[in-house]
Structure 1
Amino acid sequence: MTSPLSRDHLPIPDPKHVGLTTYDAKDPDTAYPPITTLRPPADAPNVLIVLIDDVGFGASSAFGGPCNTPVAERLAAGGVKLNRFHTTALCSPTRQALLTGRNHHSVGMGAITEMATSAPGNSSVRPKEKAPIAETLRLNGYSTAQFGKCHEVPVWEVSPAGPFHQWPTGSGFEYFYGFVGGEANQYYPGLYEGTTAVEPPKSPEEGYTLNEDLADRAITWVRQQKALVPDKPFFMYYAPGATHAPHHVPKEWSDNYKGRFDAGWDVLREHIFAQQKALGVVPPDADLTVRHDEIPAWTDMPEELKPVLARQMEIYAGFLEQTDHEVGRVVDAIEDLGFLDDTLIYYIIGDNGASAEGTMNGCFNEMASLNGMGGIETAEFLLSKISDFGTPKAYNHYAVGWAHALCTPYQWTKQVASHWGGTRNGTIVHWPNGVADKGGLRNQFHHVIDVAPTILDAAGLPAPAAVNGIAQAPLEGVSMMATLRDGGAAESHQVQYFEMFGNRGIYHQGWTAVTKHRTPWETGTPPPFDEDVWELYGPQDWTQAHDLAAENPAKLAELQRIWLIEAVKYDVVPLDDRGFERINPDIAGRPQLIKGTTQLLFDGMRVSENCVLTLKNKSYTVTANLVVAESGAHGVIVTQGGSVGGWSLYAHEGKFKYCFNFFGIEYFITSAEEPIPSGRHQVRMEFTYDGGGLAKGGDVALFYDGRPVGKGRVEKTQPLGYSADEACDVGCDTGSPASPDYGPTGNRFTGRIEWVQLDIGDDAHDHLITPEERFNLAMARQ
């Protein structure tokens, strides 16, 4: 009889043959056990986790919202809804907690990766003793794949140089197709297959959207798996990146909602709340929380702006509906293969609450507000762009008021981990072969860290004692199987801390104590932590509407003490509410990929903004050695950013040109006075910054082989970032075009680019880089 596999230590050791070894294989005593393939225990289900981005509890129609999500409704009808499921209030932390079964600070993800510090709870480095669930499942015989958003890679490791151990393919996923970062342009995403940068299969003009592309890839993968190894269960993590800004969706989706939001966000809150009670996802005696003064009333908004505001919400609703539709295509593919009943599906509608990062008026180009320059988008400007919202010409986000409405019935939004508006996300679990209830509702408190233990429980797998030779720390979540199978089961998740940017809270046996430290859309220095005012909410207060702090100070003190104990246990302290200091790696204490004042790039490179010298708010030069064809020069030499902002050096109609794209609003173009001659030449652009603060302009000078050939002027610049997802490219411009002189395709440089050099700092006014200098620099960097 074959002994069961020992699955406590992964990878499972190879079996060793002990017995007679014959000299001749034809000897009748020759006997070896057959080679077997690794599989999980019998009856282990397939697993599909769907994680939608930036969706409030009150957005989806499955939870009473205005956005049609028929796939979510269908899965809920065949499974159960969880109406007290919680996330961390922010992207990267929720994802790392989901994928590891541990609290976000416990796995180094106290905030997004771009704000990592040297403190253990905020380092963005996943401890080796806390292996992700995908690795555990893979080493137990699952096929594993991730599609969509990955925002868990430390920023200094997001480059072709790696290391790749925190990329999906280094975290247990055998296949990855998606993007690495916080958000993606739905029409021009920066995609990776595995760790290799790839281009979308078609253009927006040909109907491309990232949502559809990801579904196509997921369908192809799951069909292939089940065609080749139908007995091998799969684990698919499908995280489309929608509905994070930019809110991009074809008009046929958004036009379905025309006129639906003209009454504004306050009326919408009332309507959602009534629907939630009608559906039973909110108790009949619950109270709608009061809108805070920081959030404007709809009636206080300028009348001339209201058509734009309504259009913003129409686009968002269409975006969420399209996202749900594409999820449905993946689910339908699994059903067509005959495996839906034996697939455990988690449909988590939001990695946090709705995003209030779009300013009071919303924005046409999110990068303007992210650069602290949202004021350049006047009401008149927004109105002039109303027909372009949601299209490839825009990079839009909706107003704060819509985010608050979509978090109905709660206070606050994404980032505010203290209150349920930031952390409570409607979730659906569908597994006909494992959960008999159809259309049920579950009211027990659970947290995203409970998903990984639930998967292991469903699959009959132990939490491993060791993975890849590293002893493992315990999982910090609890299995939800008792909850899923019995609506009357006792609550198993008894205590849970929350913290994000100083906003903090504690849940303990129905009670919550919370304090909001800072508001997402407000800048400036927050107050000292000791001045924060704590609130207390009782077990029957489902919406956190009635503060009991004044009448029950003893209970508040008890919960505050529990919060501090949990915070120390999971590396939440020291609390860190810094902004700029955490963005700056020199202050934050995290590594930087690029150091010094010079960087060398080569043809074909595509790297993120974090992998390029910071050229903002300073003088710099860009030099390139080219071999120009007899037919003349054409195409992009080097570029950074895209249509929402950036710069490009290129040849157009034979001449060397530099374009600075100011948020897609103004283009400052400098052209050489003569064509680039054929043959081998060095071209150079020098930008002399005006100084005197951020976002100032500067003078532009162009050179051929050290000889001046053109001058120009950039009146203003972007101070902090060109784009959230566009790359720095050498030899072409991937994604959206940074200059209006060329399009998104057909812009590759027609000659040969030997190298491109970026230099920042003092301008020595030496307009030519010699071969000796190039060699010395290269040797110095070895």
Structure 2
Amino acid sequence: MKFDQKQSPVIRNVIQCLVLAGVVLHAQATEAQESDREVPVNRRVLPIAAPWQPPIKTLDARDATAPPVFKVEAPQDAPNVVVIMIDDLGFGGTSAFGGVTPTPTFDRLAKNGLRYNHFHSTALCSPTRQALLTGRNHHSVNMGSITEIATSFPGQTGKLPDSCAKLPEILRLNGYSTAHFGKCHEVAVWEISPSGPLTRWPTLSGFDKFYGFLGGETNQWAPAIYDGITPVDNPAKGDPDYHFMNDMTTQAINWIRAQQSLTPEKPFFTYFVPGATHAPHHVPESFIKKHEGKFDAGWDVIRKQIFDNQKRLGVIPKDAVLADKPEDIKDWDDLSPKERKLFSRQAEVFAAFLDMADFEIGRLIDAIEELGELDNTMIVFIAGDNGTSAEGGMNGMYNEMTYFNGVEETVDDMLQHYDDWGSASTYPHMAAGWAVCFDSPFTWTKQVASNYGGTRQGTVIHWPAGIKAKNGLRQQWHHVIDIAPTVLEAAGLPQPRIVNGVGQRPMEGVSMLYSFDDAQAADRHLVQYFEIMGNRGVYYDGWFAGTVHMYPWAPPRNKLLDDVWELYHVAEDFSMANNLAAKHPEKLKELQEVFLSEAVKYKVLPIDDRRQLRLNAKLAGRPTLMGDRTSLTVYEGLGFLPENDFIDTKNRSFEIVAEIESQGKATNGVIVSQGGRFGGWSLYLKEGKPVYTYNYLGLESYSVTSKDVLPVGKSTLQLEFAYDGQSADGQPKLGAGGTATLKVNGQPVGSGKVEKTQFAIWSADETANVGLDRETSVSPDYTEESSKFTGKIDKVTLTVK
């Protein structure tokens, strides 16, 4: 509207007021219409953006209507989701899949849900876990192996790409509460320190809550665990009955109860992944007693018993054949009486560990049922992240760390620990014959990605509100990368295209939802490659070709180009017992070409079988926190440092200089330590006297003690270690001994010989600490509680030479 400049100012003001009033009324009407209209939620871009709100032009809040508070909500009727995965358990482990150890919780879920007998892992823990949580192949998410042997090659770096957001992050950004309890072996070892980065830790990659351990395993009696990003100091707190499996279950129950009490409208996602049944096989005596004598018949008889059970239960076809054992596994009848006694005990403890895990999982399921949420909770229970572990070698081990340090334990030595096998005084693993047994009806085990014994996992899905069938069997071929798409479809959620500003690589798995109510539905996962440290193969529409390049207990058998491939028509040969490579060479060649095509597509190449060499970060080409540093100065209070994040004193001379204050004879405790009961070293004071103890794999211990009490006040305590392993060509010998010398204010106060040293690894979970010794104690002179230094530590400098 144009205003006539000849009009009086009063008239012009009246007209302007009327026009403005009309504009405001129109805007308010439009605003009301917008607020009443339901704006569609774009779940393809996460986080979900709040809807645009027009500017408010009303002056007085009393006259305005506030817009609704924006909040992200999960789709209506989206189920709770619980993913449970046992560690290192093969296809024949649970009683629902023929196992001889009763697993009533697993069986209960199977009877009221679906069993999948063609479900697969990657054959190794970290790759399986990262694949499950992302819906992508393990090389796609740079987890071609475990991060302890990561390299700089694509597919093997151990670092999750931002373009592959995890399932819990997708669910969290869509209105779920999310929590992770138990094992997390997906964080790069050089990122586990106060310096971070913490972006790939559980609570910064999708989980609201994390309570568990970072790494491949932990001592169940004295675990190294985190609550979020905060280390838990001495979780047992003096409780003689403490066990981490029980602790993590209680934590999970408490979290679910709290979440449902406070936000019952929100669905929850719980990832429950215990350390059981991975070594160390730690379990209370009450569970072990239940299984005494149950394995005296030996692995050949029990393997056949499991096989017969599997046929009776229908989880393998009636015409299936029990595949041959590996040639290295002795017949039980050929073992000595001592070997049979020891190996039977190992199996009893392993079975007890599985029994305990199933019992604790039962507590979790019961708690969900008591909340009235069981019917609308989709439970995915995977019995193993790979086949049963044969990493115990032919005899098993009292201390699993001997495997990594090239020490072969004898049967006679292990029998000395027969009565306390599985207790806090052991760190045990079992003989490989049992791994083959519990992987029935297949030949191979964990690490062997080219055989279903290493990759096939008995799996149950239980969801009364979403699955009509009860006690159903599903035979469609699936893989862990199919879990994430299945959960998203069940929740009514799309795969996002952008997460936190980063474009996403599409998930490579397929949803299993189509099979829930149709047992006869045609397979949708038709091609899948497998590769772990040179063991490689490919599934292609009912056929499988692969090569066993390396046994779990031995170095590579051939050069990669010399490997002999096998061919199986797995649609008709369930257990891979009939090698058809010679009969169908054209089919074998076709599958080999499919493998190479998939390997290029998913960053599998180059294949790297350097198992021992890759333990050396420099040779492997992965980052380390210390880099090329030869000196590290630390201060009181620093701790919880895994050995990959601490200066490496192995296979070389070194020096420790500690500037401390003492009150004389009354001063006790640890100045600095690394490792624990099953391998490590400690510099400490005992009744005022300096002591250096070197614990060799829990098998032998060497100590040097000062003849004098440290003077009152400030002192400089020095430990010099002169390594004996320098050879004539300048290359260090591995695992040699050395001479340890203690000095106080520059003067020698004690010296002694350390006859041998650990050349490869201290521990999978024990840490380095200043001012105390956490987890288990290096020396019996103190406990964790009494190890705290009672003087003052100004600083400690460690220098390697």
So what's the TM-score if we normalise by structure 1? 0.95
Give the 3-state SS of the residue equivalent to 2:708 in structure 1: strand
Residues 1:26 and 2:58 aligned together: no
Displacement after TM superposition at 1:23 (Å):
1.2
Give the 3-state SS of the residue equivalent to 1:746 in structure 2: helix
Residues 1:461 and 2:497 aligned together: no
Identity of aligned residues (%): 50
- Structure 1: distance between partners of 2:278 and 2:238: 19
Matches within 5 A, 1:295-374: 295-374=329-408
Residue matched to 2:95? 61
Displacement after TM superposition at 1:292 (Å):
2.1
Residue matched to 1:83? 117
- Structure 2: distance between partners of 1:129 and 1:724: 30
Residue matched to 2:783? 743
- Structure 2: distance between partners of 1:284 and 1:382: 41
Residue matched to 1:415? 447
Deviations 1:160-196 (A, max 9, x none): 1110111101210011110000111110110111111
Residue among 706, 718, 722 paired with 1:688: 722
Amino acid at match of 1:707: Q
Residue matched to 2:325? 291
- Structure 2: distance between partners of 1:234 and 1:754: 47
- Structure 2: distance between partners of 1:554 and 1:368: 45
Give the 3-state SS of the residue equivalent to 2:290 in structure 1: helix
- Structure 1: distance between partners of 2:234 and 2:318: 48
Bigger shift: residues 254-263 or 739-748 = 739-748
Give the 3-state SS of the residue equivalent to 1:512 in structure 2: strand
Residue matched to 2:174? 140
Residue among 725, 734, 738 paired with 1:698: 738
Residues 1:731 and 2:771 aligned together: yes
Residue among 268, 277, 294 paired with 1:234: 268
Residues 1:600 and 2:633 aligned together: yes
Displacement after TM superposition at 1:328 (Å):
1.1
Matches within 5 A, 1:211-610: 211-374=245-408, 377-523=409-555, 525-538=556-569, 539-595=571-627, 596-606=629-639, 607-610=641-644
Residue among 196, 199, 202 paired with 1:168: 202
Residues 1:179 and 2:221 aligned together: no
Bigger shift: residues 107-116 or 574-583 = 574-583
Residues 1:645 and 2:676 aligned together: no
Give the 3-state SS of the residue equivalent to 1:357 in structure 2: coil
Deviations 1:352-375 (A, max 9, x none): 00000001011101111221112x
Give the 3-state SS of the residue equivalent to 1:507 in structure 2: strand
8 Å contact from structure 1 (residues 247, 390) kept in 2: yes
Amino acid at match of 1:622: I
Displacement after TM superposition at 1:301 (Å):
2.1
- Structure 2: distance between partners of 1:528 and 1:697: 34
8 Å contact from structure 1 (residues 61, 69) kept in 2: yes
- Structure 2: distance between partners of 1:484 and 1:571: 32
8 Å contact from structure 1 (residues 632, 676) kept in 2: no
Task: Give me the CA root mean square deviation.
Answer: 1.2
- Structure 1: distance between partners of 2:543 and 2:751: 67
Query: Unmatched 5+ residue regions in structure 2?
Result: 1-36, 728-732
Give the 3-state SS of the residue equivalent to 2:126 in structure 1: helix
Displacement after TM superposition at 1:84 (Å):
0.6
Residue matched to 1:9? 45
Displacement after TM superposition at 1:50 (Å):
0.5
Give the 3-state SS of the residue equivalent to 1:206 in structure 2: coil
Bigger shift: residues 539-548 or 623-632 = 623-632
8 Å contact from structure 2 (residues 223, 235) kept in 1: no
Displacement after TM superposition at 1:200 (Å):
4.2
Amino acid at match of 1:737: S
- Structure 2: distance between partners of 1:591 and 1:58: 39
Residue matched to 1:769? none
Residue matched to 1:665? 699
Give the 3-state SS of the residue equivalent to 2:516 in structure 1: helix
Deviations 1:392-422 (A, max 9, x none): 0000000010001010000110000000000
Give the 3-state SS of the residue equivalent to 2:353 in structure 1: helix
Query: Unmatched 5+ residue regions in structure 1?
Result: 762-782
Amino acid at match of 2:634: L
- Structure 1: distance between partners of 2:153 and 2:718: 42
8 Å contact from structure 2 (residues 222, 236) kept in 1: no
Amino acid at match of 1:537: Y
Amino acid at match of 2:116: L
Displacement after TM superposition at 1:641 (Å):
0.5
8 Å contact from structure 1 (residues 634, 654) kept in 2: yes
Displacement after TM superposition at 1:498 (Å):
0.6
8 Å contact from structure 1 (residues 187, 204) kept in 2: no
Give the 3-state SS of the residue equivalent to 1:648 in structure 2: strand
The structure that has the greater radius of gyration is 2
Give the 3-state SS of the residue equivalent to 2:722 in structure 1: strand
Residues 1:192 and 2:226 aligned together: yes
Residue matched to 1:764? none
Give the 3-state SS of the residue equivalent to 1:73 in structure 2: helix
Give the 3-state SS of the residue equivalent to 2:545 in structure 1: strand
How many equivalent residue pairs? 756
Deviations 1:238-293 (A, max 9, x none): 11111100000011101111111111111111000001111111111100001121
Give the 3-state SS of the residue equivalent to 1:638 in structure 2: strand
- Structure 2: distance between partners of 1:403 and 1:299: 17
8 Å contact from structure 2 (residues 662, 688) kept in 1: no
Displacement after TM superposition at 1:197 (Å):
1.0
Displacement after TM superposition at 1:509 (Å):
1.0
Deviations 1:606-633 (A, max 9, x none): 2111111111111111111112236632
Deviations 1:60-97 (A, max 9, x none): 11211122211000111111111110000001000000
Residue matched to 2:188? 154
- Structure 2: distance between partners of 1:720 and 1:149: 23
8 Å contact from structure 1 (residues 341, 431) kept in 2: yes
- Structure 1: distance between partners of 2:384 and 2:604: 23
Give the 3-state SS of the residue equivalent to 1:582 in structure 2: helix
- Structure 1: distance between partners of 2:241 and 2:734: 39
- Structure 2: distance between partners of 1:445 and 1:507: 10
